[in-house]
Structure 1
Amino acid sequence: MTTIPLLQSLSGLLAGVALIVLLTARFRVHAFFALLLAAVLTGCILGLPAADILASIKSGMGNIIGSLGLLIVLGTTLGLILEHSGSTAVLANYVLQRIGTGKAALTMNMIGYLVGMPIFCDSGFIVLSGLNKALAQRSGVSLMIMASSLATGLYAVHCLMPPHPGITAATVTIHAETGKVMLYGLLIAIPAAAGGYAWSVFAGKRLAAHVSTESAVAPIAAGPSVGMSVLPVAVPILLIATRSLFSLETGVAPSFGLKTVALLGTPEVALSVGILLALTQLKDKVSALLQESAEKAAGILVIIGAGGAFGAILAKADIGSHIAQNQAVAAMGLLLPFLVTALLKTAQGSSTVAIIAAAAIMQPLLPMIGLDSGNGHIICVLAMGAGSMMISHTNDAYFWVISRFSGLEVKDMLRVYSTSTIVMALVSLAGVYVLSRCLPGV
């Protein structure tokens, strides 16, 4: 009874993605309309009534814009101010003088891994996108390689390490030990990030001719100091990191100080602090720059909103439940939580939603798959974390944050970044398997 709906759901997913690629790459249709048409086509294939398709599109757009809208606007503003003041160029020169041009992409991958520990991957990419673009221009490395290297470094820890919301919620649902999930997740995220970087370099080199950057950029005549250039980037990261660290404390009544830390560490507030710091380096044209920021952010938001609409339609497929109901598949051990989460992620776009939904599906199945023990719970959570990486594509808001903030084509993003998330997921799964062989009781 479940085979036909599952095949129908997968057909809708594949048809939707194929239409997006065809419209954007072949016919140069704006991504917003391509995503919107893909959502309608997928809804029709899934057999949804027209009213449900429209309602899902509206709710999907509203939810994603509501959660990311302010962040996108503020992040865009910060990036433009840093670029206009010369701060990103100063930072790019400073980094390249110390690491050389040959290690620029690896450096951004490592920075992504470190920055991604306390903050969301999309927040981290927005904050660092200006530096990343400047490094790409001055090093001569393809922007596709640079963007994917940074994105995969951020993505690895986002999917595998508490206190990020998805894996944290799964840890609670499965009753796993948070400290051990965090430690093992950080360790597994190292080869995952490295795998994403290695694939980005391998696949990106083949596209270098199509995604070129200006390799020769004249040095800026005047600009802020390195310290003042780094402050608007470092302060928001530190504020968000501090908030995340304090949020790990439980059973403590929030004092005025903790409430202040929580407020300042909210990504939107932290970015606002970064903007105020960056404005101190801007001498003129503030009004015009703010207007440009709002206009640029609007273009990004409509695409991300349409991506949310596409994801909302695909969420109707309920692929994870179909898989979990198959007894033969349920005998797959740690492969089952990985597979269910990967399918949910690929279908609806959000790693957080995918792992939370997968945890609810897997919790009653733990005895069946042999993971009903303390260490087994940890392995199950980490396997779901690995699955939540695969596959980031056109229905994922993070995909569009990377694409729009880096100015990259959809087809190139799919060939390099989306395929790198497959590599990351498989490397992470291998790491979880090795860990399962080392832990007793699994």
Structure 2
Amino acid sequence: MDLIFILLAVIGFIVIATSKFKLHAFFTLLIASYIAAFAYGLAPLEIAKVIASGFGGILSYIGLVIVLGTIIGVILEKSGAAITMADWVVDRLGDRYPTLTMAIIGYIVSIPVFCDSGFVILNSLKESMAKRMTVSPVAMSVALACGLYATHTFIPPTPGPIAAAGNLGLGSNLGIVIAMGAVIALVATIAGLIWANRFKHTVRDEEDEQTPEQVLADYQKIKASYGTLPSPVMAFAPIFVPILLICLGSIANFPSHPFGEGALAETFAFFGQPLNALLVGLFVATGLLKGNDKVEQFSKRIGEGLVVAAPILLITGAGGAFGAVLKATPIGDTLGSSLSALGIGIFMPFIVAAALKSAQGSSTVALVTTSALVAPLLPELGLDSEMGRLLTVMAIGAGAMTVSHANDSFFWVVSQFSKMKVSLAYQAHTMATLVQGVTAMLVVYLFSLVLL
């Protein structure tokens, strides 16, 4: 039991350091790795080697994938592609299903673009639709936030799910993670949408006096700031081309060899590797660059993407180091047998991720830390198969949604841009994320009954 108490103490340190003292997650995880190593009695001269190998090991095959995915997201954000995607969905659903429209827009946009940025970009569209369709902006805000939040925590190439998949040994097989993540994220989005519809007639605490025409003018001004917007094909292509390539690569590697064993199969297998697929996606995204100085613009977007990706890479690497330390200790056998006796199985990753998310606020940190913590325990939990690892990623994603409240930047983006008081934001947004997370976990559990 001493081994378990040490682990609980280390987790407590991570939670307190990141939530109460606001210590950066990278440094917190690094220090936690050293604390765990000394507490579990690793040889002092081996500790640095274990930590360095764990840090480099995870980044060696998932680091570049995170970087390329982030750069694609930056190009899409800066080019106005998110606006094009939103308008495309609005044109097809029209005025019939306003909250559904916002949820679908959020679901699509947040695959490449961080949910915080996506909400800011789409806020004027959401306000314009709410005014025009006489639907409460609260319901529209929650619907948009739920769509953004779902794909942010479940579907690569968003960095959090990529890092979790990498920690759990699925970094080279992201196709199944994308496919399962899309299903779970869709269920979570629908659950959030149902909750959002409870607020269709809720009056905001702070109503503005803008007319629908003024709100629409604001949205048109934002659209104009991007210059000529890309076509729908160009806007969607950098997202769906790499996803399609990854899925085709996964199919090519099936034991049944559906594409044969010749050049075609090798081609799909090559371009289906996540790194190669996202590199293709990046080249496709260059078509969104405007003007005559495209090379200069491209370099600028790469620089901006690297700035965004750097902290994610460091946190992911530190999470890998923490996981490597745990793998080098006997805690896996001890904790695995204890948890097996409790019979919580697939719920264990969800509970840990939800605790970390609620305590420190970042879904990405919850995804990375929990996946690093759980990886050594998979055999004892009965999850050490490809399907078990896949469902573990999904369970961690569900936990990383539960819940978004005052220590989460997304909570403040949603509440402030939607002009909701904190009390209303808790009722509408925070409760929506609780509904989403719990519903997603229940679906994961049902899948586990069938697939494991």
Measured in 2, the distance between the counterparts of 1:39 and 1:429 equals: 26
| Aligned length in residues | 373
1:235 — aligned with what? Answer: 241
Is residue 266 of structure 2 the alignment partner of residue 266 of structure 1?
no
Measured in 2, the distance between the counterparts of 1:325 and 1:37 equals: 31
Relative to structure 1, the CA distance from residue 430 to residue 65 in structure 2 (aligned partners, 3 Å threshold; closer, same or farther) is closer
**Secondary structure of 1:269 counterpart:** helix
Q: Is the 8 A contact 1:36 1:306 kept in 2?
A: yes
**Secondary structure of 1:63 counterpart:** helix
Relative to structure 1, the CA distance from residue 156 to residue 294 in structure 2 (aligned partners, 3 Å threshold; closer, same or farther) is closer
Relative to structure 1, the CA distance from residue 288 to residue 194 in structure 2 (aligned partners, 3 Å threshold; closer, same or farther) is same
Which segment drifts farther, 378-387 or 276-285? Answer: 378-387
2:439 — aligned with what? Answer: 427
Is residue 48 of structure 2 the alignment partner of residue 58 of structure 1?
no
2:262 — aligned with what? Answer: 255
- Paired residue type of 1:135: L
Measured in 1, the distance between the counterparts of 2:114 and 2:31 equals: 35
Give 1:15's match in structure 2, choosing from 13, 16, 25. 13
2:283 — aligned with what? Answer: 276
Q: Is the 8 A contact 1:73 1:293 kept in 2?
A: no
Relative to structure 1, the CA distance from residue 388 to residue 12 in structure 2 (aligned partners, 3 Å threshold; closer, same or farther) is same
Is residue 103 of structure 2 the alignment partner of residue 106 of structure 1?
yes
Measured in 2, the distance between the counterparts of 1:378 and 1:73 equals: 25
Relative to structure 1, the CA distance from residue 22 to residue 299 in structure 2 (aligned partners, 3 Å threshold; closer, same or farther) is farther
1:138 — aligned with what? Answer: 125
Measured in 2, the distance between the counterparts of 1:72 and 1:297 equals: 10
Give 1:301's match in structure 2, choosing from 300, 309, 322. 309
Relative to structure 1, the CA distance from residue 60 to residue 292 in structure 2 (aligned partners, 3 Å threshold; closer, same or farther) is farther
**Secondary structure of 1:250 counterpart:** coil
Q: Is the 8 A contact 2:371 2:393 kept in 1?
A: no
Relative to structure 1, the CA distance from residue 157 to residue 351 in structure 2 (aligned partners, 3 Å threshold; closer, same or farther) is farther
Q: Is the 8 A contact 2:319 2:372 kept in 1?
A: no
Relative to structure 1, the CA distance from residue 45 to residue 125 in structure 2 (aligned partners, 3 Å threshold; closer, same or farther) is same
Shift of 1:352: 6.3
**Secondary structure of 1:349 counterpart:** helix
1:286 — aligned with what? Answer: 294
Measured in 2, the distance between the counterparts of 1:223 and 1:166 equals: 38
TM-score, reference length from structure 2: 0.60
Shift of 1:83: 4.3
Which segment drifts farther, 427-436 or 304-313? Answer: 427-436
Deviations 1:265-314 (A, max 9, x none): 33333333333334334332323322322322332333123313442454
Relative to structure 1, the CA distance from residue 268 to residue 147 in structure 2 (aligned partners, 3 Å threshold; closer, same or farther) is farther
Measured in 2, the distance between the counterparts of 1:379 and 1:64 equals: 20
Measured in 1, the distance between the counterparts of 2:299 and 2:445 equals: 51
Is residue 315 of structure 2 the alignment partner of residue 325 of structure 1?
no
Measured in 2, the distance between the counterparts of 1:263 and 1:341 equals: 34
Measured in 2, the distance between the counterparts of 1:157 and 1:84 equals: 21
Deviations 1:96-115 (A, max 9, x none): 34446644542146548xxx
1:397 — aligned with what? Answer: none
Relative to structure 1, the CA distance from residue 11 to residue 350 in structure 2 (aligned partners, 3 Å threshold; closer, same or farther) is closer
Is residue 78 of structure 2 the alignment partner of residue 71 of structure 1?
no
Identical-residue share of aligned pairs (%): 19
Which segment drifts farther, 342-351 or 7-16? Answer: 342-351
Relative to structure 1, the CA distance from residue 262 to residue 52 in structure 2 (aligned partners, 3 Å threshold; closer, same or farther) is same
Q: Is the 8 A contact 1:239 1:261 kept in 2?
A: yes
Q: Is the 8 A contact 2:119 2:145 kept in 1?
A: yes
- Paired residue type of 1:149: G
Measured in 2, the distance between the counterparts of 1:89 and 1:184 equals: 27
Shift of 1:436: 8.8
1:173 — aligned with what? Answer: none
Is residue 71 of structure 2 the alignment partner of residue 89 of structure 1?
no
Measured in 1, the distance between the counterparts of 2:285 and 2:310 equals: 27
Relative to structure 1, the CA distance from residue 341 to residue 59 in structure 2 (aligned partners, 3 Å threshold; closer, same or farther) is farther
Shift of 1:134: 3.7
Relative to structure 1, the CA distance from residue 70 to residue 165 in structure 2 (aligned partners, 3 Å threshold; closer, same or farther) is closer
- Paired residue type of 1:263: F
Shift of 1:385: 6.1
Shift of 1:255: 1.4
**Secondary structure of 2:397 counterpart:** coil
Shift of 1:260: 0.8
Measured in 1, the distance between the counterparts of 2:252 and 2:314 equals: 35
Deviations 1:338-395 (A, max 9, x none): 3267549968836766776444113499xxxxxxxxxxx99988975664436439xx
- Paired residue type of 2:300: E
Measured in 2, the distance between the counterparts of 1:228 and 1:381 equals: 34
Relative to structure 1, the CA distance from residue 82 to residue 47 in structure 2 (aligned partners, 3 Å threshold; closer, same or farther) is closer
Measured in 2, the distance between the counterparts of 1:132 and 1:420 equals: 16
- Paired residue type of 1:287: V
Relative to structure 1, the CA distance from residue 364 to residue 102 in structure 2 (aligned partners, 3 Å threshold; closer, same or farther) is closer
2:24 — aligned with what? Answer: 34
Relative to structure 1, the CA distance from residue 193 to residue 270 in structure 2 (aligned partners, 3 Å threshold; closer, same or farther) is same
1:339 — aligned with what? Answer: 348
1:5 — aligned with what? Answer: 3
- Paired residue type of 1:232: P
Structure 1 gap segments, 5+ residues each: 25-32, 113-121, 170-178, 366-376, 394-399
TM-score, reference length from structure 1: 0.61
1:389 — aligned with what? Answer: 397
1:360 — aligned with what? Answer: 379
Deviations 1:222-244 (A, max 9, x none): 33333333333332232223223
**Secondary structure of 2:400 counterpart:** coil
Spell out the pairing of 1:187-202 with structure 2 (5 A cutoff). Answer: 191-195=187-191
Relative to structure 1, the CA distance from residue 325 to residue 270 in structure 2 (aligned partners, 3 Å threshold; closer, same or farther) is closer
